[in-house]
Structure 1
């Protein structure tokens, strides 16, 4: 990664606009030597797996919250039968015919 010119940042201040202009000038003059990442290495693969895991975890939490919201408005007898059960136990109990 190319670093911003420290002298320019001290003289002109710190801002995204100045950094962007400095980066563009470095590319035009050939001073910029950084290359873009390929995006297909092991780090990218791990990032995709982590993203899928986070998404699945959020979806699971959303499904549990929806189930609990439905149970609040359901029959009192069913609500009492499921009271005090953990989330997996509630899920197992509700899947039984």
Structure 2
């Protein structure tokens, strides 16, 4: 299997629209017109992608924890619920009555 870059734009425009553009692009690998190297997966871009992925995962976990804490607060003792009403998220996390 050969990784093929996108077909030549000027070549595509000269030939016009047709249904067989995928076949032409796949044939470029066999004909030698495609010269792209496969991605190695170990460069700076891959490292940044991994950082972005882990950051997104951390944000999602934080959101889940906040939602779970607020769901527990809905079913909590009325006195505690009244005391915590209007509190910010950091204030909810620091609440001494949770411990």
Which ranges in structure 2 are unaligned for 5 or more consecutive residues? none
Deviations 1:19-58 (A, max 9, x none): x322210001111101111110111111101110011101
Moved over 2 A (4+): 5-12, 94-97
User: Of Structure 1 and Structure 2, which has the larger fraction of its residues in helix?
Assistant: 1
Go from structure 1 to structure 2 and tell me whether the alpha carbon gap of 1:13 and 1:64 turns closer, same or farther (over 3 Å shift). Answer: same
Q: Which residue, out of 14, 17, 20, partners 1:13?
A: 17
Could you tell me which runs of 5 or more consecutive residues in structure 1 were left unpaired when the two chains were aligned.
none
Q: Which has the higher contact order (CA 8 A, sep 6+)?
A: 2
Question: RMSD over aligned Cα, in angstroms?
Answer: 2.4
Cα distance in 2 for partners of 1:14, 1:64 equals 52
Say whether 1:64 aligns with 2:73.
no
